[in-house]
Amino acid sequence: MKKSSLAVLLLLLCLSFHQSLACTTFCLKSNGEVLFGRNYDWTIGDALVFVNKRGVAKTATVAEDGNPAKWVSKYGSVTFNQYGRENPTGGMNEAGLVVEVMWLNETEYSTDNSLPAVGSQEWVQYQLDTAATVDEAINNAGRLRINSDVKIHYLISDRMGRAATVEFLNGKLVVHSGAQLIVPTLTNDTYEKSLSYAKQINLEKATSEGSLDRFTRAAHRTKEFEKNPVSGREAVAYAFEILSDAAAKGTNEGTQWSIVYDQKRGQIYFRTLQSPQIKMIDMKAFDYSCGSAVKIFDMNSKESGDVTAKFADYTRKANRDLIEHSFSRTDLLKDLPAMVRDFVASYPETFSCSQVDKKIESSLTICKVYHPGTGFSSLCTRHFFSCAATRPLRPNLRSGRSLAGSLRRECAIG
């Protein structure tokens, strides 16, 4: 298989069966209101909302590349995770910083091995853990290297309403912020290409679910908010209107969830395809101290309204159940054995409140998974987000082997 990256294959499958599967993000700022809207478009919608703690020492899961990033979380956060704890698609921290991801085919990450490395989704958690402002997040981006084949770009925004697009093109960090960020909107083409398209096409003709048309419509509504702002719940409703207009339509696949972050008030509103009633989370109500219990909430719960008090204590079983559901319904993950799924579920518990646990660095596990009929094998490290193509092997499982020189490519859902 020429492209063994999990995320690459999943993207191709999505494009084949539903060309509109893609994501939309935007930032609204006017008259003291600061909001961030996000559609997550995919083929499955299982997810947990996590309350992550400050003061936690972490090491990136790309340790096999020789220079993994290490950090201590400064801020607590609330994130939306589909493939397990510590691997969010996006979220907001207690300082009001929001980070969200979208696919971008043109992405090429830096190959400067002197920079510490993180995975593509770990980049999100790293930023939420360590940055309070867009400026801090941009500085972080320049000091990190993403070790991944997953081609994504990011939209970030802080509580003051400053926003930035973060892209990696031709191996270089490309940021649009301040005066260069004409409109804080991002879909699935480069920001420059999207902006150029929006300037040339009549709004009335931008009616498709394609990336450029979605960008054009969302950008128009974002600008309109600046001219005719509304406040409070009306602003949240306005953001949901934009998300509805940009949504991929489908009964069982398409826009799986829509999220509106009210950064000024520290509140998060969301709805899902499986549970369309709007739910609200008050981030100010949580205890983010490292010694307190991590909290979780089923994103597809049938609850409505304020669900802050409905969060339960994290358990490995809940994380394992999420992994089981998501893996089993994702084509290239459904054949991964129980030992891999167990490891993914338990890995976040190796982090410590006070210092980096030395066991993290020695806990690399590798398994070779044989795919009958293709002779394709995957090298799975400490979680499924790292993988590699190797020569055909007999159907067996091996563990405890070093990844040095073996890992060819890392993969993730982005």
Residue-wise pLDDT tens digits, 279-318? 999 999 999 999 999 999 999 999 999 999 999 999 999 9
Of the pLDDT bands very low, low, confident and very high (cuts 50, 70, 90), residue 65 is confident
Domains, the chain, ranges and CATH?
21-313 (3.60.60.10), 323-410 (no CATH)
The three-state secondary structure class of 118 is strand
- 341: closest CA among 59, 42, 84? 84
pLDDT above 50: residue 216? yes
Strand 145-146 versus strand 117-118 pairing type:
parallel
Report the alpha-carbon distance of residue 376 to residue 399 in Å, rounded.
Answer: 18
Of the pLDDT bands very low, low, confident and very high (cuts 50, 70, 90), residue 334 is confident
Six-digit token string for 152: 């994504």
Report the alpha-carbon distance of residue 220 to residue 186 in Å, rounded.
Answer: 12
pLDDT above 50: residue 350? yes
Which residues, 6+ apart, have CB-to-CB distance to 234 below 8 Å? none
pLDDT above 70: residue 368? no
Of the pLDDT bands very low, low, confident and very high (cuts 50, 70, 90), residue 414 is very low
Six-digit token string for 318: 């809940």
**Owner of token pair 């893609």:** 22
Residue 391 CA, chain-centre distance (Å), reads: 31
Of the pLDDT bands very low, low, confident and very high (cuts 50, 70, 90), residue 374 is very low
pLDDT above 60: residue 225? yes
Based on the number of CB atoms within 10 Å of its own CB, is 27 exposed (0-12), middle (13-18) or buried (19 or more)? buried
Q: What pLDDT is recorded for position 354?
A: 60
Which pTM value belongs to this model?
0.81
Based on the number of CB atoms within 10 Å of its own CB, is 44 exposed (0-12), middle (13-18) or buried (19 or more)? middle
Based on the number of CB atoms within 10 Å of its own CB, is 395 exposed (0-12), middle (13-18) or buried (19 or more)? exposed
Instruction: Please tell me the least confidently modeled range out of 43-57, 85-99, 373-387.
Output: 373-387
Q: What pLDDT is recorded for position 150?
A: 82
Please state the rounded mean pLDDT for residues 99-111: 96
